[in-house]
Amino acid sequence: MACDHAVGANRRHITRRRFLGRAGMAIVAGSLGPAWAGNTPPGQVKKRRLGKTNLMVSEIGFGGHSWEYPRVPDPAGPRKVSEDEAVEIISAALDMGVNFFDADTAISEHELPGKVLKRLDRADDVIVCVRLCHKSHGVPEDKQEIYKFIDERLKLWPMDSVDIMMVSMTTEEYWDMSYCIEALEKVKQQGKIRFTGFGSHFTPENYLEAIAKYGDAFDICSAPYNVRHRAAEEVFPVAEKHDLGIVTIKPFARGSLLKGLDLADDDKGTPRRMVAFVLRNKYVDCCLTGLHTFDQMLENFSASWTGLSPADGEALERLASAKPPGDADWLERSWVLA
């Protein structure tokens, strides 16, 4: 199918900001580098069609938790990614063809990439997906939460509309998406978003129910998927029948699949292979990865051009099946393939 939605198409930018951004660009590019210090990036991240949105998205994208959690190694203890570090990480990734930015509910997941894209004057080159952690009580007040969220978060991005808004639900809560669908339609008509999605910590059974009831009302869905937690393999084909774009989360089970590994030596390359494992699934359109350093970014995104050999894939599956559950309780409970 023709891919008729270009990145940034229909998006209205804040003219004055853009003008100032362009005026400062030479300085920005000179002082903030690297990205590759005049050389070409080591490879290019491939694009996939994001279901019925027809957006062409990089098959690996930035998870918003990258900016929210204090996990950059530092002598004084773990800390959050600084703005200058984020400029370095994001500008290099953009050079590698990465264009998908996910941002969960926390303000910093919007604020930091928003500032960086403004500094780099690259708002035109990205697809932004914002997520509201939303209880979906099935009451009219559901709508107010959505209106408030999108208005507040839009102020943090250097554009006045975003591409996708997702609603995320938890398994423990009652959920009924009918009111949030109405609210999302309204913000779409207001030009604040272009497409909608749902996902999060559902069980596979929740997903199948949600897709059956609401699959035609949404454009994308998002589910956990990694070499150990593979139950989404039963959900993806059903989602595809509704032409839902598929965005995966937790390629490392929030890092717990990597715990205890010797990533500098014996287990070197394991994170890259874990991302490549996710990409090997033909239903996946974009694998989101949380990361906290330039080196993690480079390793994770390089999965797009290095791929996964059959032998490496088998070794990875053996490694993952022997892993203790770690701190990924909800994944262990519901997402290990029976």
Ligand X SMILES: NC(=O)c1ccc[n+]([C@@H]2O[C@H](COP(=O)([O-])OP(=O)(O)OC[C@H]3O[C@@H](n4cnc5c(N)ncnc54)[C@H](OP(=O)(O)O)[C@@H]3O)[C@@H](O)[C@H]2O)c1
Give me the residues that bind ligand X (CB under 6 A), please. 63-66, 71, 102, 104, 131, 133, 168, 199-200, 249-255, 258, 263, 271, 288-292, 296, 299-300
Q: In the complex with ligand X, which residue's Cβ is closer, 7 or 60?
A: 60
Q: How far is the CB of 64 from ligand X (least distance, A)?
A: 4
Q: How far is the CB of 200 from ligand X (least distance, A)?
A: 4
- Integer-rounded Cα Rg, in Å, for the chain is 19
Q: In the complex with ligand X, which residue's Cβ is closer, 66 or 304?
A: 66
- Single-letter code of the amino acid located at 322: A
Q: How far apart are CA 55 and CA 66, in angstroms?
A: 23
Work out whether the CA dihedral 50, 331, 63, 308 comes out positive or negative.
negative
Q: How far is the CB of 219 from ligand X (least distance, A)?
A: 16
Q: In the complex with ligand X, which residue's Cβ is closer, 245 or 271?
A: 271
Long-range Cβ pairs for the range 178-183 (8 Å, 24+): 178/138, 179/136, 179/138, 179/139, 179/140, 179/142, 179/143, 180/134, 180/136, 180/142, 180/143, 180/146, 181/214, 181/217, 181/218, 182/143, 183/142, 183/143, 183/146, 183/147
Which residues, 6+ apart, have CB-to-CB distance to 106 below 8 Å?
64, 68
Asked if residue 93 lies in contact with residue 116, where contact means CB atoms within 8 angstroms, the answer is no
Q: How far is the CB of 143 from ligand X (least distance, A)?
A: 20
Buried b (16+ CB within 10 A) or exposed e, 105-144: beebbbbbbbbbbbbbbbbeebbbbbbbbbbbeeeeebbe
Q: How far is the CB of 30 from ligand X (least distance, A)?
A: 29
Q: In the complex with ligand X, which residue's Cβ is closer, 128 or 183?
A: 128
Q: How far is the CB of 12 from ligand X (least distance, A)?
A: 25
Q: In the complex with ligand X, which residue's Cβ is closer, 158 or 255?
A: 255
Q: In the complex with ligand X, which residue's Cβ is closer, 59 or 104?
A: 104
Q: How far apart are CA 217 and CA 213, in angstroms?
A: 9
Structure tokens at 27: 């300085």
Q: How far is the CB of 21 from ligand X (least distance, A)?
A: 25
Q: In the complex with ligand X, which residue's Cβ is closer, 27 or 264?
A: 264
